[in-house]
Structures are given as structure tokens and as C-alpha cells.
């Protein structure tokens, strides 16, 4: 059976046209990945994200809009001051990420098992 790369590309383009595709596109940008990394630790305000990542306020505002529209983050009113917006991660997209990391770990687990078998098998000969 021949695998058709062109057909796979069509599948991907179709997905990109959906809201899920927005999620994928959101994480293509390193600055937005930086925002995600910061929000992993705790929710933060836009100003703090901008200054920590050394990004201008208008640019950060743009990034946050993309991340919101992709479903990766949500915006809440800050405690005590409803004008202050606090951003936090939405957990659902990241449970899928955990599944993928598990697969990468399976790959390395199998390689390390192969290494262990080889190292132990040959130790008596050294």
C-alpha cells in the first residue's frame, strides 16, 4: 500500500481550516510558546507576560488574542479589580500533549531497554 503524502497534506489543510487548526497555528510561534511556559507556573497579567518576555504591549495583546481564540488560554477578571485581566491555561488541550509525551517516552524506554540488554549481555566478555 503506497502512502500518499499529498492526501495527508490535504487532511492537515482541512484541519487547519477548523478551530482546532487555530490551536495548532497558535503554538507555532515561539513567543506564544513562551507565554504558555509562563502560564504553566501560574496565571499572569498581560503586562507581566509582556515584560518577562520582552515583547511590546500591542504585540503581546495580539499574541494573547490568538491564544484565546485557539482555546489554549482563558481570560479572567483579576481579584479586586475587574479592569485587570488575568490569563490562565485551559487544561483540555494539554491533556492531549501529555499523551504525546508518553509516546516519546515509550520510544526512549525501548531504546534504553535495548541498551541495557546489549550492555549486560556483553559485560562478561570485557
Q: Does 104 bind other proteins (CB under 8 A)?
A: yes
Q: Does 66 bind other proteins (CB under 8 A)?
A: no
Give the residues across from 74 on adjacent strands.
88
Instruction: Please name which of 98, 82, 94, 84 lies closest in space to residue 39, comparing C-alpha atoms.
Output: 94
71: region left, alpha or beta (phi > 0 left; psi from -120 to 50 alpha): left
Q: Does 38 bind other proteins (CB under 8 A)?
A: no
DSSP-assigned letter for residue 112: H
- List all residues 6 or more positions away from 19 whose beta carbon is below 8 Å from its beta carbon: 70, 71
Which of 58, 79, 122, 125 touches other proteins (CB under 8 A)?
122
Q: Which three cell numbers stand for residue 78?
A: 483579576
Question: Which residue, 17 or 84, is less far from other proteins as judged by CB?
Answer: 17
Q: Does 82 bind other proteins (CB under 8 A)?
A: no
* CA 122 to chain CA mean position, Å: 41
Q: Does 74 bind other proteins (CB under 8 A)?
A: no
Question: Which residue, 9 or 77, is less far from other proteins as judged by CB?
Answer: 9
Interaction site with other proteins (CB under 8 A) = 1, 3-5, 7-9, 11-12, 15-16, 20-21, 23-29, 33, 36-37, 40, 93-94, 96-97, 100-101, 103-120, 122-123, 126
Amino acid at each position: 500500500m503506497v502512502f500518499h503524502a499529498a492526501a495527508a497534506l490535504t487532511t492537515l489543510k482541512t484541519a487547519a481550516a477548523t478551530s482546532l487548526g487555530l490551536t495548532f497555528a497558535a503554538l507555532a510561534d515561539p513567543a506564544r510558546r513562551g507565554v504558555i511556559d509562563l502560564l504553566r507556573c501560574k496565571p499572569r497579567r498581560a503586562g507581566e507576560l509582556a515584560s518577562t518576555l520582552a515583547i511590546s504591549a500591542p504585540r503581546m495583546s495580539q499574541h494573547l488574542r490568538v491564544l484565546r481564540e485557539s482555546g489554549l488560554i482563558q481570560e479572567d477578571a483579576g481579584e479586586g479589580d475587574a479592569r485587570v485581566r488575568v490569563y490562565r491555561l485551559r487544561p483540555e488541550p494539554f491533556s492531549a500533549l501529555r499523551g504525546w509525551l508518553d509516546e516519546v517516552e515509550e520510544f526512549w524506554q525501548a531504546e534504553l531497554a535495548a541498551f541495557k540488554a546489549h550492555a549486560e549481555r556483553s559485560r562478561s566478555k570485557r
